[in-house]
Amino acid sequence: MKLCSGNRRRFFHRSGVILLEVVLALALFVAAAAIFTASMDAAMTSLERQRLNLHAENLASSTLAEIQMGAIPLAAGALPPDPTLPGWTTEVVLGSVQELAAEMRSPLVQVEVVVRHTNNAVVKRLAQLVRQSEARSFQSMQGVAP
């Protein structure tokens, strides 16, 4: 029986070290790819959430502006859904502010617009004080009953 010579042992030792190095490099590459993929997924999820929040804020502010103009009657309740905006619901909540109304000698109403997305957990609330007389005077000019 012949024993392995020193050169042969060094060859197997080197090839084993090279194989270990390749396996470690591959493991590091897979780990880096997994981290990159997870971070891209988190970024895309955050981007979609920000886009929906901005859209909800724009819907709430435009609805509040329409109420102030008198294009939408000053009444509490859910507004009819817009067919161009599927998945979004808008609701108007009214609350009176008696202390400020007494000071300013005009009836103020706190108008809160609540915008919800039906598929995602997005809810945006926007509130502002509106004078009832201004909204009603514009509605009467347009021929809309208050």
| Residues ≥6 apart with Cβ < 8 Å to 79 | 63, 72, 90, 91, 92
> What are φ and ψ of residue 109, in 5° steps?
-130, 130
pLDDT in tens, 57-79: 999 999 999 988 888 888 888 99
- Spans of the chain below 70 pLDDT: 1-13, 96-107, 133-146
Domains of the chain, residue spans = 6-142
pLDDT of residue 146: 44
pLDDT of residue 49: 94
Predicted TM-score (pTM) of the model is: 0.67
Name residue, tokens 């004078």.
Answer: 131
- For residue 91, the Cα-to-chain-centroid distance in whole angstroms is 18
Task: Give the helix ranges, DSSP H, for the chain.
Answer: 6-69, 98-104, 132-142
